[in-house]
Each structure stands twice: as structure tokens, then as C-alpha cells.
Homo-oligomer: A and B are copies of this chain.
Amino acid sequence: MKALRNTWNLIKQEEISWPLFVFFSSDIEISRAQSPKAVDVLAKEIGLLTDEIEIYGQTKAKVRLSLLERLKDQPDGKYVLVAGITPTPLGEGKSTVTVGLVQALTAHLNINSFACLRQPSQGPTFGVKGGAAGGGYAQVIPMEEFNLHLTGDIHAITAANNLLAAAIDARILHENTQSDKSLYNRLVPVVNGMRGFSPIQLARLRRLGISKTDPETLTEEEISRFVRLDIDPSTITWQRVVDTNDRFLRKITVGQANTEKGFVRQAQFDIAVASEIMAILALTTSLQDMKERLGKMVVANDQKGEPVTAEDLGVTGALAVLMKDAIKPTLMQTLEGTPVFVHAGPFANIAHGNSSVLADKIALKLVGENGFVVTEAGFGADIGMEKFFNIKCRASGLVPSVVVLVATVRALKMHGGGPNVTAGAPLKKEYTEENLQLVADGCCNLQKQIQITQLFGVPVVVALNVFKTDSPAEVDLVCKIAKESGAFDAVPCNHWSAGGRGAIKLAQAVEKAANQKNSFKYLYSLELPIVEKIRIIAQKVYGAQDIELSPVAQSQVDRYTRQGFGNLPICMAKTHLSLSHQPERKGVPTGFILPISEVRASIGAGFIYPLVGTMSTMPGLPTRPCFYDIDLDPITEQVKGLF
């Protein structure tokens, strides 16, 4: 076994020759002005062996999980979560802080560090929003590789998800049009004179309490139980997915061709990252664990109200085969040549919105005991961070060292009563001129998010992502209030315009905070009833007075509890634009009753997800989608206008 070097021999990128603060017109121009080093060079610098990487082109490589076995005795590095205050619709810059922080740590302070980021959904890249590679001088390069197919993980998820969906409808059709005997003859055919169950069929027999292994010995009743999943079509929760913003697939009717013999039903397509398989990819800890989770996914109930799983449909192995490469994290680099893992990107509402456990685990080994792994949680800390702690850390067993809470003067002014902030519309003058009162009033949201962090016993450093319109007095005020509110430290950051150099103070603060006493704890015990767990999150995190379940939600809770799924953690599907369920209520709303309209479950991923209002799982294309500006130069092969 080869031990890791304590400090990497990382070759820093040359600083981009344009003077800082004289900006390129777009993120992609900044990205292109820097030549990424070859990914095999980067891999070597950080201690990966040749047979531990699978190169994908010049700038991407998948890292094999065998690394975890080789480095199992290596102590983990420090584990840093970047979360945010309740954001405006424009976002507060968590990704740029994540990238800026590792650039500062590694390229400027010579401390090993890794950024672990989510893979963005490709669909929205061509719709309204741009990519998620960070931005300015704190981004992952090449950004077009990051934002487009990457190494095919989302495509693999789509293929696996849709194979399962096709298997469900085809099975219902075949059961509805064939006798028990005919189904049995087809499911267990005579091949070359022999007849036998496949391993996945034997597993199903065992679940049915049938210990026979010779197909000729089953009774008619046993045959009937074996061949009929008896899926109740009205209970199907498994949806098809595409990685495209296709609003016309939000509600559809399938099965209208004559060949489907009238078995039509209403269905929908979700965007691919909303697939439970994406949530599994993010939470799994090994190939074996992934396979088990894929098999446990509940897709519907049978006519008796019992759950029907992917395993019952016989498709577990095929799903695992489709996902065998996706389970390996993808290695890329920041603009300053420091390493990044890009892996998994589950929805942050109906799923937990965090990148993968496996990437974090591998990175924690690679950085070594004194190094840092920085990862990001989607939305505000009340959602992304709460799920990071209660769901992701539970799955991984990892203990976070520090939370970096990202704030902007703009968002704080909004929480202080500033006018609406809308994507696409010009910002009102309150946001471009100094206004200390609005800032002071809005800091209540920052305070509350600090308090939420403290519920979990982890030190918090506030990173104020500075915009050029922020006044020094505004910046000072935020930092002062943050420190008074219990933050270990609060520092202004200029990584967007200055790269890692602009986040050196943040890096120093994080390093100090990581050496603080850490009394990390989960917010609730899994043994509590589902409703009780929801109430704890609503009251302690969101500040709700209480919760109120719809009758549908209550019956769903009862069913999941009866089915034995009561001990799973909770994944709240709530708006990120307010601590409450009402996006227009800024600051720190109080006195509200959180309405739970439905309660659903991702059994393979391993969580129950209550819906607070309706959640859209399929974005649409606007009248003028981004693609009007996107082009490919056929001579240089360069992508133009991506962001």
C-alpha cells in the first residue's frame, strides 16, 4: 500500500494575464483564457495511481472506488460545508465561495484541499439559467465540459430510470393479457431442454416465503403469487425522466397505441436529476450498497397495498449495470489548478440536494489529515444544510468540521424589507446604493441561519460574498452582526473578481474554526414517528408554530409506517425563498403553521419527503431560451455563448 504524501506537489496554474478586475465579458471567456492541466497530471499530483483513474478526454477522469480500500488507514481531512442564508432568486454564490475557498487553501496557502460539487442538470443549461461551475475567477474548468454531458452520469441515470418505468407498464400489460400459466411459461422458459429460475427470481420466491427451487414443483397458487405483481396502476409513483426542459411532458397520457390494448394511464416526465436514482447515487457508499438501494426502490403498491419494488420487477442487476460507471466520481480542476470532484446532483426539494457521499469520502482520504474537503448544500441552510446533516451525514457517517454560511448584502437588504428581486429584471436602487438600515434589518435572516447551524453543534464562519456595489460600511456591518450572533468569524470575500487570492481570509478563518471544539449531533432520532420528525424540523429549523397534515398526507404517513418505512430520515420539499412555506415572507417569519399537502417516499435513497405546497419537477423553456446565443465554431470547435 502506497501512503499519500502529506502535501501535494500541485503545479499551480499561471495567473491569467489580463489584469484582475478588468473583467472578461463572460464566465466562459475567463474559463477559456486558462488552459487546464492534463487530468492525468493533476491525478498524479494528488497521489492517485495510474490504475485508479479512467481518463475521459483531456480534462476529466473518473476515479475508481478501489482507492477507498487502498487508503482505508489514512485519517480523514477536515470536512467543510458551504451553506447559505435564504437566497434571492439570483442566488448568493455558494458555488463560487466553494471554489474560491479551495483555490485560496491550496493555490495560496499550500494546504491540500478538494471541492466536491454537484453535477448540474443539462436541461436548464439551454433554458433560463446558466451552468453551475461557479463563476468569474472562481470556477471549474473547462466550464462547457462541466455543464454538458460530463462523463455521462446523468445519461446513465436517465437510462436506468426509464428502463424501470418501461418495465412497470410492460409488466402490467403482460399480466393483464395472459393467464398465470402463460406468464409462468414465459417468465420461466425451457431453454435447451432445461428450466430454471434466475437468481433474481429465486430471491423473489424467498420473499414470497416459497423455498422451492425447481420450477416444476410450484403449486398453482404459488405460481399465481410468483407471476403476478398485481400492480395497482393508480399507485404508481415511478415517473419517466429526460434531461430536457420539456414542459409538455409534465402531464401526459401513455399507452394510446393499439398495441397497448387500451391500458392507457396518466403519467409524467420529470427532469432527470429528480430521479430517485440520482438521490441514490448521491447517498450510496459502495457498489454493493447501490445495488441494494436500487433493488429496494418502491415504484407502486399492489392491489393489497403492499409495496412493489424494482427487485420484484427483476431489474435490479440491469440497473446496477447501467450505473456501474456513474458511481465513480469525476475529477476536474478549478481555474487555479486545484482538484475538484463533480458527482451527483439530486434535486434540492424532493431530494436532498447534496453532491455524493463517495466523492467526499475519497477526497477526505486524498487531502490527508491536515487537508480540507469543501462541499456545498443547495438552497438556504434551513433546507440544504439541514438535509446535509440529517440525511447525507447519516448515510456517510462523516462528521463536518465547519459550516461556511454565505451571505450577500443584496439578499440581506431584501430580508430587511427591500423591493422584490426578480431574475431578468434590473435591480432597484436600494440594491446598488448604500443602505445600512435595510442591511441591519435583514441580518435577522443571517442570525436565524447561524442559530440553525448551531443546533447541529458545528462552528460557523460567515462568508460575505462582496459585490462591487457593496459599501465598506455595509460589509463591516454584516461582519459585525454575524460575529455578535455567534459566528466563529465573518469575513468579506472577493473570489469572484480575484480568484483564490480574494478568499484567503476566509480560508484562514475556516482553518482556525476547524480546530474548534465540535459537538456535531443530528437534529432528531430516526426512531421518532414520521410526524414528530417533521414537526421538529418545522419548529426548530423553520420557526413554525406547528405543522398541519392534509388527510391525504396523514394516510400516506400511516401507510409508510405500516409498511415499515417509519424509521427513515425526513427530506422536506419546501420553497427555498423563505424560511416558511410562503416565498414572499422574507426575514424570519413567525407564527405560521406549515401545511404538509402530501408525504412521499424514496425508499431506495432512504428518506420520506413531505411536500410543503406543490413542487415542479419539470422546468420549461421560456419564450427566448438561452440556446439562441449558443453556437459552436466549426473550425476552432469552441463553444460560444454558453453563459
Question: Which of A52-60, A86-94, A214-222, A461-469 binds B?
Answer: A52-60
| Minimum CB–CB distance for A223 against chain B, Å | 14
B152 contacts A287, CB within 8 Å? no
Which B-chain residue is minimally distant from A294 (CB atoms)? Answer: B632
Question: Which of A255-263, A299-307, A415-423, A603-611 binds B?
Answer: A255-263
A165-B246 CB under 8 A given contacts A56-B57, A318-B627, A634-B291: yes
A256 contacts B260, CB within 8 Å? no
A199 contacts B253, CB within 8 Å? no
A632-B317 CB under 8 A given contacts A122-B159, A163-B244, A324-B637: yes
Residue A593 is within 8 A (CB to CB) of chain B in the complex = no
Contacts of A637 in B (CB 8 A): 287, 324
A159 contacts B244, CB within 8 Å? yes
B259 contacts A291, CB within 8 Å? no
B149 contacts A314, CB within 8 Å? no
Question: Which of A104-112, A166-174, A331-339, A505-513 binds B?
Answer: A166-174
Give the residue of B152, B251, B255, B259 whose beta carbon is less than 8 angstroms from that of A257: B251
Contacts of A630 in B (CB 8 A): 317-318, 321
| Minimum CB–CB distance for A410 against chain B, Å | 18
Residue A198 is within 8 A (CB to CB) of chain B in the complex = yes
Residue A156 is within 8 A (CB to CB) of chain B in the complex = yes
Question: Which of A183-191, A436-444, A521-529, A552-560 binds B?
Answer: A183-191
Q: How far is the CA of A287 from the CA of B149 in the complex (A)?
A: 18
Contacts of A626 in B (CB 8 A): 318
A253 contacts B253, CB within 8 Å? yes
Question: Which of A359-367, A396-404, A540-548, A617-625 binds B?
Answer: A617-625
B631 contacts A200, CB within 8 Å? yes
Q: How far is the CA of A624 from the CA of B186 in the complex (A)?
A: 6
Residue A207 is within 8 A (CB to CB) of chain B in the complex = no
A291 contacts B149, CB within 8 Å? no
Residue A642 is within 8 A (CB to CB) of chain B in the complex = yes
Q: How far is the CA of A316 from the CA of B162 in the complex (A)?
A: 27
Residue A266 is within 8 A (CB to CB) of chain B in the complex = yes
Contacts of A253 in B (CB 8 A): 252-253, 256
B126 contacts A163, CB within 8 Å? yes
Residue A501 is within 8 A (CB to CB) of chain B in the complex = no
| Minimum CB–CB distance for A150 against chain B, Å | 9
B54 contacts A54, CB within 8 Å? no
Q: How far is the CA of A12 from the CA of B169 in the complex (A)?
A: 47
A257 contacts B246, CB within 8 Å? no
B632 contacts A324, CB within 8 Å? yes
Contacts of A199 in B (CB 8 A): 631
| Minimum CB–CB distance for A111 against chain B, Å | 31
Q: How far is the CA of A519 from the CA of B635 in the complex (A)?
A: 36
B246 contacts A632, CB within 8 Å? no
| Minimum CB–CB distance for A640 against chain B, Å | 7
Which B-chain residue is minimally distant from A187 (CB atoms)? Answer: B624
A169 contacts B58, CB within 8 Å? no
A634 contacts B286, CB within 8 Å? yes
A162-B242 CB under 8 A given contacts A200-B628, A254-B249, A317-B630: yes
A632 contacts B287, CB within 8 Å? yes
Give the residue of B122, B166, B189, B325 whose beta carbon is less than 8 angstroms from that of A247: B166
Contacts of A623 in B (CB 8 A): 174, 178, 183, 186-187
B324 contacts A162, CB within 8 Å? no
Contacts of A188 in B (CB 8 A): 624
B622 contacts A186, CB within 8 Å? yes
Residue A20 is within 8 A (CB to CB) of chain B in the complex = no
A254 contacts B252, CB within 8 Å? yes
- Chain A residues 135-190 with CB under 8 Å of chain B are 144, 148-149, 152, 155-156, 158-159, 162-163, 165-167, 169-170, 173-174, 178, 183, 186-189
Q: How far is the CA of A194 from the CA of B163 in the complex (A)?
A: 47
| Minimum CB–CB distance for A398 against chain B, Å | 22
Q: Mark A576-592, 1 if CB is under 8 A from B, else 0.
A: 00000000000000000
Residue A250 is within 8 A (CB to CB) of chain B in the complex = yes
Residue A245 is within 8 A (CB to CB) of chain B in the complex = yes
B54 contacts A163, CB within 8 Å? no
Which B-chain residue is minimally distant from A318 (CB atoms)? Answer: B627
B251 contacts A162, CB within 8 Å? no
B315 contacts A627, CB within 8 Å? yes
- Chain A residues 31-62 with CB under 8 Å of chain B are 54-58, 62
B57 contacts A57, CB within 8 Å? no
Residue A641 is within 8 A (CB to CB) of chain B in the complex = yes
Give the residue of B166, B316, B622 whose beta carbon is less than 8 angstroms from that of A248: B166
A248 contacts B260, CB within 8 Å? yes
Residue A201 is within 8 A (CB to CB) of chain B in the complex = yes
Which B-chain residue is minimally distant from A272 (CB atoms)? Answer: B159
B246 contacts A166, CB within 8 Å? yes
Residue A639 is within 8 A (CB to CB) of chain B in the complex = yes
A62-B54 CB under 8 A given contacts A122-B159, A320-B632, A321-B631: no
Residue A243 is within 8 A (CB to CB) of chain B in the complex = yes
| Minimum CB–CB distance for A167 against chain B, Å | 6
Q: How far is the CA of A343 from the CA of B201 in the complex (A)?
A: 36
| Minimum CB–CB distance for A125 against chain B, Å | 9
Q: Could you list 6 examples of A-B contacts with CB < 8 Å?
A: A170-B621, A198-B628, A198-B629, A249-B254, A250-B260, A317-B629
Binding site for B on A (CB under 8 A): 54-58, 62, 122, 126, 144, 148-149, 152, 155-156, 158-159, 162-163, 165-167, 169-170, 173-174, 178, 183, 186-189, 198-201, 240, 242-257, 259-260, 263, 266, 268, 286-288, 291, 314-318, 320-322, 324-325, 424, 620-632, 634-635, 637, 639-642
Q: A162-B242, A317-B627, A317-B631 are in contact. List 9 more A-B contacts (CB 8 A).
A: A163-B627, A170-B621, A173-B248, A186-B624, A240-B242, A253-B256, A257-B268, A286-B634, A291-B634
